[in-house]
Amino acid sequence: MMDDLMDMDALTLAELVRCGEVSPVEAVSAALDRIAARADLNAFITVTAESALAEARAAEAAVRRGDALGPLHGLPYSVKDLTLTAGVRTTMGSALFEHFVPREDAVAVARTKAAGAILIGKTTTPEFGHKQSTDAPLFGRTLNPVDARYTCGASSGGAAVAVAAGMGSLALGTDGGGSIRIPASCCGIVGMKATLGAIPNLQPADLFGANSYVGPMARNVADTALLYGVLQGADRRDPYGQLALPAPAAPAGASLAGLRVAYLPSCGNPVDPEVLTATDAVVRCMEADGARVEPVSLDFVSLERHFLVILESVTASRVGARLETFRDRLDPSLVATVERGRLHGADALLEAWAARTQAFAALQAVFERHDVLVSPTLSAPPLSVTQDPNGIVEIAGKPAGTIRGAWYPYTYPMNLSGHPALSLPCGRSSLGLPIGLQLCGRWHDDWRLLDVAARVERLLAG
């Protein structure tokens, strides 16, 4: 029974905890046991066993007393190690912060705790989330639970692996260019990047130019929506989070009738035939369910160089002053990122911000005529763990360009534009590797996006 608890969805487990059939101590113990049993996957940098069990005992007492319980009461969850957790070390995946212990929780962590969830640990990330594979000198490599020969994605790789392998049914990831959606796709789970400001994030140094988000990861859309409901809400300290978001709309009902879908199979990049086949099949299912589908054309590959200017400049600003002191203990890929970032001038950065504005305008034009934008999450199934993050990617056996423009050109534009997007599983390759579908919506249409995703998930389940 204990081991089975971690294979339950969060909604079911939450109800069992509320009615007393499962104790929070049992739930947390089951998660900790699964973490220990799957230590080979290397999904956690820090496991908070002692504090988690203490919180679980307090949560159990609250159930016995008949206290008012939050929607996540007694549920174990994890937090990516880029996100601040009071009293729990937060390393950023780097020797630079190996012993850093924050005094305060990030907004998302504080809200999750207030809803009753219990932190079981901090999950792995490449240093400062700077690349697309989850490995770093501080902790080694995190393995894909589906097939260890292929990447689990990044930079919320540990979070995705933890959820996929049953080390807690819920996780908080972060997404600066696809870092929730990429590993969600690689590991066969659901991951969401909300509208900019919907889930307040006060960690970026420049809140006005922010393109990094904290968001929910789970094994299905309903659990993702459960966690999103806890995380979203106004915070006057976030310039994009000043007002409460619209309340959930009425469910779409028994079909997608009338939904206007923009389909983007490619945005100027080669696509693996198996990914295209899986994505086409989903779109046909949506059409058969009543959606009105229209192919659209968007050039997102050309945004890659501008996205890199922003990423590399921010990383250089954050790490550059300590580079020489710690160079030998840092990922060579991080060092290269910082060194490139130092070379970008003000003109390049201003051009990148202008390109961000143009990306927003292009997507706004799509949403003038459509309700949802559908695409693959990634151009190909999970890449080999040996893929050079700065090298050329092969798609269907042919060179396709550098990794962002070739493998995930669908994800980073939504970070630049602020539109909500999520990835959900939509099939497997001939090698059994997960394939993800990305759904994107209008600003502040997050609940409708989740509702459509839930309907698509039901269609795929047959």
3-state secondary structure string, 200-213? CCCCCCCCCCCCCE
Question: If you average pLDDT over residues 205-210, what whole number do you get?
Answer: 95
**234 has a pLDDT exceeding 90:** yes
- Is the CB of residue 126 less than 8 Å from the CB of residue 154? yes
Which pLDDT score, from 0 to 100, does residue 390 have? 87
Element (H, E) at 462: none
pLDDT of residue 254: 76
* Cα–Cα nearest to 176, from 357, 349, 408, 379: 408
DSSP-assigned letters across all residues of 289-349: TT-EEEE-----GGGHHHHHHHHHHHHHHHHGGGHHHHGGGS-HHHHHHHHHHHH--HHHH
1: pLDDT strictly greater than 60 = no
The H-assigned helical ranges of 130-220 are 157-164, 181-187
Tokens 């919180």 identify what position? Answer: 55
Mean pLDDT of 387-399: 92
Which pLDDT score, from 0 to 100, does residue 176 have? 97
Confidence of residue 250 (pLDDT cuts 50, 70, 90): low
> Average pLDDT, whole number, for the chain?
96
Tell me what pLDDT residue 226 has.
98
Local confidence band at 245 (pLDDT 50, 70, 90 cut-offs): confident
Q: Using CA atoms, how far apart are residues 233 and 228, in angstroms rounded to an integer?
A: 10
- For residue 248, name the pLDDT band (cuts at 50, 70, 90): confident
Question: Pick the catalytic residue: 29, 155, 185, 212?
Answer: 155
What confidence category does residue 2 fall into, taking pLDDT thresholds of 50, 70 and 90? low
The DSSP letter of residue 455 is: H
Q: Is 297 a catalytic residue?
A: no
Answer whether 221's CB lies under 8 Å from 457's CB.
Answer: yes
**Of 29, 156, 169, 179, which residue is the catalytic one?**
179
The dihedrals phi and psi of 393, each to the nearest 5 degrees, come to -95, 140
Is the bond into 266 cis (omega within 30 degrees of 0)? no
- Does the annotation count 179 as an active-site position? yes
**Catalytic residue chosen out of the listed positions 78, 80, 333, 429:** 80
Check residue 249 and give its pLDDT: 67
Q: Residue 92: enclosing H or E segment and its boundaries?
A: none
pLDDT band at 209 (very low <50, low <70, confident <90, very high): very high
Fold of 2-231: Amidase signature (AS) enzymes (3.90.1300)
Average pLDDT over residues 201-220: 97
pLDDT tops 60 at residue 252: no
By DSSP bridging, strand 421-428 and strand 44-47 are unpaired
Q: Where in the chain is the domain with CATH 3.90.1300.10?
A: 2-231, 260-305+344-461
Mean of pLDDT values over 159-172: 98
Distances, alpha carbon 412 to alpha carbons 59, 178, 211, 352, 364, in Å:
39, 6, 9, 13, 16
Q: Enumerate residues 6+ apart whose C-beta is below 8 A from 19.
A: none
Percentage, residues of the chain above pLDDT 70: 98
Report which residue type is found at 395: I
Residue 3 confidence (pLDDT): 60
Q: Which of 66-70, 133-137, 253-257, 291-295 is predicted least confidently?
A: 253-257
Query: pLDDT of 92-118, one tens digit each?
Result: 999 999 999 999 999 999 999 999 999
Return the CATH architecture of domain 260-305+344-461: Alpha-Beta Complex (3.90)
Length of the chain: 462
Mean pLDDT of 348-355: 97
For 30-55, the pLDDT digits (tens) are 999 999 999 999 999 999 999 999 99
Q: How would you classify the pairing of strands 76-80 and 118-123?
A: parallel
Band the pLDDT of 244: cuts 50, 70, 90.
confident
> Distance between CA 25 and CA 38 in Å, rounded?
20
C-alpha torsion sign, points 358, 334, 171, 237: negative
**Encoded tokens for 372:** 């949802």
Alpha helices in 7-122 (DSSP H): 10-18, 24-37, 49-65, 107-114
Yes or no: say if 171 and 419 are a contact pair by the CB < 8 Å rule: no
- 313 annotated active-site: no
